[in-house]
């Protein structure tokens, strides 16, 4: 069984640029959630994707967007990068049964992508 | 709004000593509660979860947590800490809108 993987491991961008982060979900999982973890803080929920559609969003601006593909892998895109976007971005996958809330199933986290914005 | 508070930013315990990490939550309905551990450079690993039923929950690595509705708490405990337990610990609550709210974390240092 393959766990959650994320790429790249580290990334350095400059303010105003755009970035795409990738996540491969664990085998058998159909839901992907993205979190931002700033230094010294707990993860903050960005959004969740279920069956290729956004299925819940935290308090993040529209320049944070995502995609989920038919194989349940996912991308997180951030446009117009700001210095405060520097953080560890975590992806988590889970299996959600139809008709249940995805938030309450066990989420398996990837190792994260460390994004630095200069 | 749903929220989680971990009052202790940093705790130091001696190896072999008991451990209790505090977690208080604010949530209008029956909460879904979690404890995760994060080692440096790693993702989050689930230690245990509470959805319903028995208020004392057993987890991996010898950890347990007790849900106390009257105190809005879900404290994590371990009777004897090992040096390998040194890490960052996060309490989280399953909230509406399909998200999880995490506390700011408690960093655990284990003295030899």
List pLDDT tens digits, range B49-70: 998 888 999 999 999 999 999 9
- Range ranked top by mean pLDDT from A16-20, A101-105, B49-53, B54-58: A16-20
Residue B57 near residue B63 (C-beta atoms within 8 A): no
Q: Residues A30-84: pLDDT tens digits? A: 999 999 999 989 999 999 999 899 988 999 999 999 999 999 999 999 999 999 9
Question: What pLDDT is stored for residue B56 in this prediction?
Answer: 96
Residues in chain A: 118
The reply to whether residue A40 touches residue B92, judged by beta carbons under 8 angstroms, is no
Q: Mean pLDDT lowest for which of A28-37, A102-111, B8-17, B103-112?
A: A102-111
CA A72 → CA A26, A33, A57, B3, B34, distances in Å?
9, 11, 18, 29, 24
| Chain B residues lying within 8 Å of A40, measured CB to CB | 104-105
Question: What pLDDT is stored for residue B31 in this prediction?
Answer: 83
User: Bridge-partner residues for B87, per DSSP?
Assistant: B108
Nearest-Cα residue of chain A relative to residue B41? A111
Average pLDDT of every residue of chain A: 92
The reply to whether residue A56 touches residue B97, judged by beta carbons under 8 angstroms, is yes
Which residue did the predictor score with more confidence, B60 or A1?
Answer: B60
Q: Which of A35, A40, A48 sits opposite B98 (nearest CB)?
A: A48
pLDDT of residue B36 exceeding 70: yes
pLDDT of residue A114 exceeding 60: yes
Q: Show contacts of A2-7: CB within 8 Å, 24+ apart.
A: A2/A26, A2/A27, A3/A108, A3/A110, A4/A91, A4/A92, A4/A93, A4/A108, A4/A109, A4/A110, A4/B43, A5/A110, A5/A111, A6/A89, A6/A90, A6/A91, A6/A110, A6/A111, A6/A112, A6/A113, A7/A113
Average pLDDT of every residue of chain B: 92
- Provide the pLDDT confidence category of residue B98 given band limits of 50, 70 and 90: low
Question: What pLDDT is stored for residue B41 in this prediction?
Answer: 76
Q: Residues B62-92: pLDDT tens digits? A: 999 999 999 999 999 999 999 999 999 999 9
The reply to whether residue A45 touches residue B99, judged by beta carbons under 8 angstroms, is yes
Which residue did the predictor score with more confidence, A110 or B41?
Answer: A110
- B80 contacts chain A (CB < 8 A): no
Question: What pLDDT is stored for residue B2 in this prediction?
Answer: 78
């Amino acid at each position: 069984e393959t766990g959650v993987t994320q790429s790249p491991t580290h990334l350095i961008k400059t303010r105003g640029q755009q970035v795409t982060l990738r996540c491969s979900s664990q085998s058998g999982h159909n839901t992907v959630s993205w979190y931002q973890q700033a230094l010294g803080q707990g993860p903050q929920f960005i959004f969740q994707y279920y069956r290729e559609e956004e299925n819940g969003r935290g308090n993040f601006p529209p320049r944070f967007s995502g995609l989920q593909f038919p194989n349940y892998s996912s991308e997180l895109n951030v446009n117009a990068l700001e210095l405060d976007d520097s953080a560890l971005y975590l992806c988590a996958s889970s299996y959600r049964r139809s008709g249940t809330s995805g938030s309450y199933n066990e989420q398996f986290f990837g190792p994260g992508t460390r994004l630095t914005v200069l | 709004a749903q929220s989680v508070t971990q009052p202790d930013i940093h705790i130091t315990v001696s190896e072999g000593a008991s451990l209790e990490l505090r977690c208080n939550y604010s949530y209008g309905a029956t909460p879904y509660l979690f404890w995760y551990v994060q080692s440096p450079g790693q993702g989050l690993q689930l230690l245990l979860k509470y959805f319903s039923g028995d208020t004392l929950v057993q987890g991996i690595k010898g950890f347990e947590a007790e849900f106390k509705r009257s105190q809005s708490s879900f404290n994590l405990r371990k009777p004897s800490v090992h040096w390998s337990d040194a890490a960052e610990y996060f309490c989280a609550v399953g909230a509406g809108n399909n998200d999880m709210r995490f506390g700011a974390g408690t960093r655990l240092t284990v003295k030899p």
